[in-house]
Amino acid sequence: MKELLQKLGAYNLWANKILLAKLKTVPSNIMQKETGSSFGSIYKTVVHLTEVEEIWWQRVKLKERVELPEKDSEENLELVSQRLLSSSSQWNEWIKEADEKNLTHVFGYYNSRKEYFKQPVNEVLLHLFNHQTYHRGQIATLLRQNGIDKIPATDFIVFARIKISR
């Protein structure tokens, strides 16, 4: 399980770097455009990706009361990108250092609806990385719908091929 989680953690970091580099080239009017998607805009979807990684980190670290990140009063893609990459790097490094006990530890947490659950860390990590992939796909679709082309492929298989060819 650890080997799989290490691959997914590295993949998540790689895919976020690639996508964020592309988003830096997208005009702000497209980034902020209300789309009717899950979070309303491409920018807000990136904020969601960031917040999710930060919230799960607090939960896995057994923080009794999860603190929601403060909303930026000014939309700042550079700041949100730095936070997301920092969080993704943190997860990646933690998994590298984790032992089997860390990864199978069952912990309790409350979700956003105040429902209580107990799950092993490895299931949460599988969820987290799958969740991030899902929303990166939404962002790619929103970019295409707004006439942005040359969107980099962030599929896991692309990441795996790059790793193999090194």
pLDDT digits (tens, 9 = 90+) for 71-128: 665 689 999 999 999 999 999 999 999 999 999 999 999 988 999 999 999 999 999 9
Mean pLDDT of the chain: 93
In the chain, the amino acid numbered 31 is M
- pTM of the shown model: 0.92
pLDDT value at position 38? 86
Is 54's pLDDT higher than 70? yes
Q: Which residue has the higher pLDDT, 40 or 88?
A: 88
**CATH assignment of 2-165, given 3.40.50.1820, 1.20.120.450, 3.40.50.1100, 2.40.10.220?**
1.20.120.450
Contacts with 41 (C-beta within 8 Å, 6 or more apart), sequence order: 31, 32, 33, 34, 35
Backbone angles phi, psi at 108, to 5 degrees: -105, 150
